[in-house]
Structure 1
Amino acid sequence: MTTAHVDTFVRDRLPPAEAQPEFLFDLPELQYPERMNAAVELIDRQPAERLAVVNDAGQWTYGEMRSLSDGIARLLTEEEGLVPGNRVLLRGPNTATMFAAWLGVLKAGGVVVATMPMLRPGEVATILERAQVSHAIVDSRSLDDFRAGAQQAGTVRSLLTYDGDLRTGELERRLAGVAKGFAPIDTHRDDVALIAFTSGTTGRPKGCVHYHRDILASADSFARYVLKPQAGDRWACSAPIAFTFGLGMLLVFPWRFGGTAVTIETPGPKPLLDAIARHKVTTLATAPTAYKAITGMLADADIFSLRTCVSAGEHLPAATWHGWHDATGIRIVDGIGATEMMHIFISASGDDIRPGATGKAVPGYRATVLDDAGQPMASGTGRLAIKGPTGCRYFDDERQANYVQNGWNVTGDTYRLDEDGYFWFVARSDDMIISSGYNIAAPEVEGALYGHPAVLECAVVGVPCEERGQKVKAFVVLADGHAPSPELAKALQDHTKCAIAPYKYPREVEFVTALPKTATGKLQRFSLREREA
């Protein structure tokens, strides 16, 4: 291939071809031309007058988003020294300006590295260092942690800031001085478009690399065939676009099919419910815990515009599905995806839904379960394995061999495959905790707790939680001079929130005199999980 990238830092650090999964492009919609830019396909192909984004601050047409993203691309390339292949950090809540920046980076040939606004300086610094990020576009409300992280990393040489969608920031002032229009970089379909860092990983975060065609492939498989979107649909999602679930449901899918993105800055089920009524949302995407919470708020709510509801991020319990269906008449479309896979690869909609099951392989994908020898099974319980138009390409990471085995993407989930081809979630295969759709690594939380002087030893596990699916629980052995108390438990929780992203903090703290270990002193988290189960 002939890349458009001058800076090949990411491509030079991809796993070799033999370590990558087998890719499938069987569907006619997945036959993309060699030269294509995903941002152009998403925003420049729709009628200019059609509504692209709406929120409490205003609304933007496709033409306006095209113009805004062209200006950002021109500003980056002509005044900020960006060359194709440079990495650009995006940081802030979901807004039209954030989305325009995402488009502008791709049009300029850059590589998007989006981060969750709640990440702390140390976490930001790690991402900046890993990806050698040179440019950043940051919402002014997310600047403090970014500046601290950038100072630590020392890689960022260009920073543009904006004030949400108020149109009052430095970015908007700079854009007023640039020429109109921009000739998008003629990227190859297999040029790197984004690095999505997995949440809650231990040690070095895993960066999942996706190409320009990967961005469209998730729309042309799952969204096209399972959700069957229509032009004019209004899409809302609780996840930030730093999560590929949010990126797909709130940016890629709406624009691929001529819809409107409804952005919501205030987190939580109630603001989400209010936005459905205020902006006449037709397609909603959020985690199972949010559906359960919203179900109890529906008495006086206006959700008559809703037509499609999508759940992902964690297992959707049958009881939650039935509760929502009984209250609204809408069948939730469940699905499992992964950052490594870009988006959802097992799902079902309409009459194909079986409550409690995740669904079947999405058109364009093949799915199976592997036995202990790594061989596919016709049915039974084993490790979930996937092939399709997207797949795992870890950036500069030896853990590629753990995820890709014999051409299959092995997700780390244990599933049961029945004789009808439906997949039923059993459990995670490792120590990752999935709580309200977030992936949280136990050792990372333990590392934060160890920073408190009262902690001598600790162990963190996920325990069953009706509200969140799982919740983070910490078992703590105290150092001399410290006594168990509710006040100390809260102090440890607050300390953790300051050290790492707040959603990772232990919802429950239990003080113990000793932790279960092997004869060699290795912590046995499974013993604690079994006790709690």
Structure 2
Amino acid sequence: MVSAAKAQVQESVAGSTSAKATTAHVDTFARDHLPARELWPDFIFTRPELQYPPRLNCVSHFLDRWVEEGRGDAPCIISPDVSYSYGELQALVNRIANALVNKFGLVSGGRVLLRSANNPMMVATYLAVIKAGGIVVATMPLLRAKELAYPIQKAQIALALCDGKLADEMDKAKEIAPALQRVAYWGTAQPDGLEALIADQSAEFAAVDTASDDLCLIAFTSGTTGDPKGTMHFHRDMLAVCDGYARNVLRARQDDRFIGSAPLAFTFGFGGVLFPMHIGASYVVLEKTSPDDLLAAIERYQATVCFTAPTAYRAMLGKLGTRNISSLRKCVSAGETLPKATFDAWQKTTGLKLMDGIGSTEMLHIFISATEDEIRPGATGKPVPGYEAKIVDEEGRDVPPGTLGRLAVRGPTGCRYLADERQRKYVHDGWNITGDTYVMDDDGYFWYQSRSDDMIVSAGYNIAGPDVEAALLSHPAVAECGVVGAPDEARGMIVKAYIVLAPGAIGDDTLVVQLQDHVKREIAPYKYPRAIEFVAQLPKTETGKLKRFALRQMAQAQAQEHA
């Protein structure tokens, strides 16, 4: 028997006109390597704004419609080197799309790897590939040849477009990834460079008539827990994250100017392009995105909406005295847990509330957050309209409010891995199991505890590393920290903290005791770090996330040395 809730979800999917659409893809490799349909999560399209037609090319919505509506002269991309109106960007995108088809032989469904730091050409190539019916595989600029070769082979990518400044590793990747047949570089001023190849192409290009459930993006995860997983997203997904989170939670305006630091190859970063283009706003694209660079650009370009990680907001706090960022009116924090100490300090200094949110590459963007007037400091928030979330135990059974468990979510987007058995682990009974440990309170707010594999079990107690990190970060001597479990003969595990000191702080035994006592005062005493190590820097991913697995490896190796 099908439950009423399940029946409603099935009805919403069956009623979605996109389910009846016929693929426009000539190259069906990606579609052929979607998970078996029974392994997909449930998709929900019950809200009016999430009703999509069977035929949809998302670039027509994000770019072409603004020109058609007479807003071609409105600002779109802004950068230190070159800026484009919507009309100018459309002309560039169309020339690239024509070159993709006429000179590179791209057919709909073909995968194109993009490799660049954040810049306008990265945006233009991204949009051009999708408009031409292709599938984007965007990669982080710091990846090495071996790391590039994996997605090239996994997704059978024949063509790459790359910033000429990153040619060395791209050329090496081509040598070890036989699927890759051609690489075109931009910014080289060479006769075979991308700019030269598009120079004689028309500025007119009709978007390929793709189905709304045709693939347009394969985003690879960072691979912190094994080989990267290719997460597959449809044209409708690009609109769904805008019609869900951006419309109902962020609530930006057409006169807003967005700015962010996350790489465009990271789906959190690409949201900084989709969200403004969804409403005809503008956005700043920066190649250099350190806290200093971000602050300078906010001031220079009068940005109003900022997207970055909690660590960046914390780093910017000490630099605000020399910058005028009064133009900011909304600040979004995602990518890692937002400590309450950072939220409080940012609000006290700027008067702005950080809008926390959790998303994932599998879900494309943020699915739990809160509008500014509903924020509860320390809580991530409630499900974004259009999504449902709950807490389940290890067997997938619902648990009552106040109970620690695994976060499960479903909505208009969801996990579909490219030919990967780990699909069975991420999706359970129609729900996406994100790998995060949460508690839901009686009011339906979700409180982040840890990544599920970051939970420290010490002498029978469950201790979330981020909980201890938040307490440590509220001490003035701590600039950054990472907390993991370290093997211990007596307790199984102990809490160990790796700490980067604030300028002027001295990492001696006295400070160790002070920090331990501070944590005992801030949170339950049993959670205090029994071991503290001062380090010059913490291991991080390219997107700025703390690599807790690397810290766990360090802790285990150190324990073995002293055994």
Question: Which residue pairs with 1:15 in the alignment?
Answer: 35
SS in structure 2 of the partner of residue 385 of structure 1 = strand
CA distance in 2, matches of 1:201, 1:396: 19
CA distance in 2, matches of 1:147, 1:474: 41
Note if 1:75 corresponds to 2:99. yes
Q: 1:356 aligns with which of 378, 381, 386?
A: 378
Question: Which residue pairs with 1:92 in the alignment?
Answer: 116
Note if 1:195 corresponds to 2:215. no
- Measured after TM superposition, the shift of residue 381 of structure 1 is 1.9
CA distance in 1, matches of 2:256, 2:178: 43
Runs of 5+ in structure 2 lacking a partner? Answer: 1-20, 457-465, 474-478, 488-535
Question: Which residue pairs with 1:300 in the alignment?
Answer: 322
SS in structure 1 of the partner of residue 173 of structure 2 = helix
Q: 2:283 aligns with which of 251, 261, 275?
A: 261
- The amino acid that maps onto 1:324 is W
Question: Which residue pairs with 1:45 in the alignment?
Answer: 65
CA distance in 2, matches of 1:373, 1:92: 42
Normalising by structure 2, report the TM-score.
0.78
Structure 2 contact 266–543 (Cα < 8 Å) conserved? no
Question: Which residue pairs with 2:169 in the alignment?
Answer: 145
CA distance in 2, matches of 1:287, 1:318: 14
SS in structure 2 of the partner of residue 225 of structure 1 = helix
Structure 2 contact 131–208 (Cα < 8 Å) conserved? yes
Structure 2 contact 262–543 (Cα < 8 Å) conserved? no
Going from structure 1 to structure 2, the CA distance change for 1:245 and 1:8 (only over 3 Å counts) comes to: same
Going from structure 1 to structure 2, the CA distance change for 1:348 and 1:100 (only over 3 Å counts) comes to: same
- Measured after TM superposition, the shift of residue 419 of structure 1 is 0.3
Question: Which residue pairs with 1:228 in the alignment?
Answer: 251
Q: 1:470 aligns with which of 482, 487, 492?
A: 482
Structure 2 contact 217–233 (Cα < 8 Å) conserved? yes
Note if 1:374 corresponds to 2:396. yes
- Measured after TM superposition, the shift of residue 471 of structure 1 is 7.1
Note if 1:34 corresponds to 2:57. no
Structure 1 contact 463–473 (Cα < 8 Å) conserved? no
Q: 2:238 aligns with which of 210, 215, 226?
A: 215
Normalising by structure 1, report the TM-score.
0.83
Number of aligned positions between the proteins: 468
- Measured after TM superposition, the shift of residue 463 of structure 1 is 9.4
Note if 1:240 corresponds to 2:263. yes
The 10-residue stretch of structure 1 (170-179 or 47-56) with the greater mean CA deviation from structure 2 = 170-179
- Measured after TM superposition, the shift of residue 203 of structure 1 is 4.0
CA distance in 1, matches of 2:149, 2:229: 14
CA distance in 2, matches of 1:58, 1:341: 32
Alignment of 1:399-478 (within 5 A): 399-430=422-453, 464=469, 466=473, 467-468=479-480, 470=482
CA distance in 2, matches of 1:32, 1:202: 35
CA distance in 2, matches of 1:312, 1:263: 18
Note if 1:343 corresponds to 2:365. yes
CA distance in 2, matches of 1:386, 1:223: 18
- The amino acid that maps onto 1:514 is Q
Q: 1:280 aligns with which of 280, 302, 316?
A: 302
CA distance in 2, matches of 1:81, 1:516: 60
Question: Which residue pairs with 1:524 in the alignment?
Answer: none
Structure 1 contact 118–502 (Cα < 8 Å) conserved? no
Going from structure 1 to structure 2, the CA distance change for 1:371 and 1:472 (only over 3 Å counts) comes to: closer
Structure 1 contact 315–469 (Cα < 8 Å) conserved? no
Structure 2 contact 437–451 (Cα < 8 Å) conserved? yes
CA distance in 1, matches of 2:394, 2:42: 21
Going from structure 1 to structure 2, the CA distance change for 1:425 and 1:160 (only over 3 Å counts) comes to: same
SS in structure 2 of the partner of residue 193 of structure 1 = strand
CA distance in 2, matches of 1:100, 1:431: 38
CA distance in 2, matches of 1:383, 1:432: 11
- CA deviations 1:347-389 (Å, max 9, x no partner) are 0122200000000010000011002431223412210000100
SS in structure 1 of the partner of residue 319 of structure 2 = coil
The 10-residue stretch of structure 1 (72-81 or 154-163) with the greater mean CA deviation from structure 2 = 154-163
SS in structure 1 of the partner of residue 409 of structure 2 = strand
- Measured after TM superposition, the shift of residue 501 of structure 1 is 6.4
Q: 1:104 aligns with which of 114, 128, 132?
A: 128
Going from structure 1 to structure 2, the CA distance change for 1:116 and 1:468 (only over 3 Å counts) comes to: farther
CA distance in 2, matches of 1:468, 1:2: 51
SS in structure 2 of the partner of residue 291 of structure 1 = helix
- Measured after TM superposition, the shift of residue 239 of structure 1 is 0.4
Runs of 5+ in structure 1 lacking a partner? Answer: 434-460, 476-492, 518-533
Going from structure 1 to structure 2, the CA distance change for 1:146 and 1:471 (only over 3 Å counts) comes to: farther
Q: 1:129 aligns with which of 143, 153, 157?
A: 153
SS in structure 1 of the partner of residue 343 of structure 2 = helix
CA distance in 2, matches of 1:268, 1:168: 34
- The amino acid that maps onto 2:425 is N
SS in structure 1 of the partner of residue 107 of structure 2 = coil
SS in structure 1 of the partner of residue 41 of structure 2 = coil
Alignment of 1:312-351 (within 5 A): 312-351=334-373
- The amino acid that maps onto 2:257 is R
- CA deviations 1:140-161 (Å, max 9, x no partner) are 1111111111211111222221
The 10-residue stretch of structure 1 (178-187 or 313-322) with the greater mean CA deviation from structure 2 = 178-187
- The amino acid that maps onto 1:143 is A
Structure 1 contact 387–408 (Cα < 8 Å) conserved? yes
CA distance in 2, matches of 1:345, 1:7: 31
CA distance in 2, matches of 1:60, 1:230: 19
- Measured after TM superposition, the shift of residue 323 of structure 1 is 0.2
Identity of aligned pairs, percent?
A: 47
SS in structure 1 of the partner of residue 147 of structure 2 = helix
- The amino acid that maps onto 1:155 is A
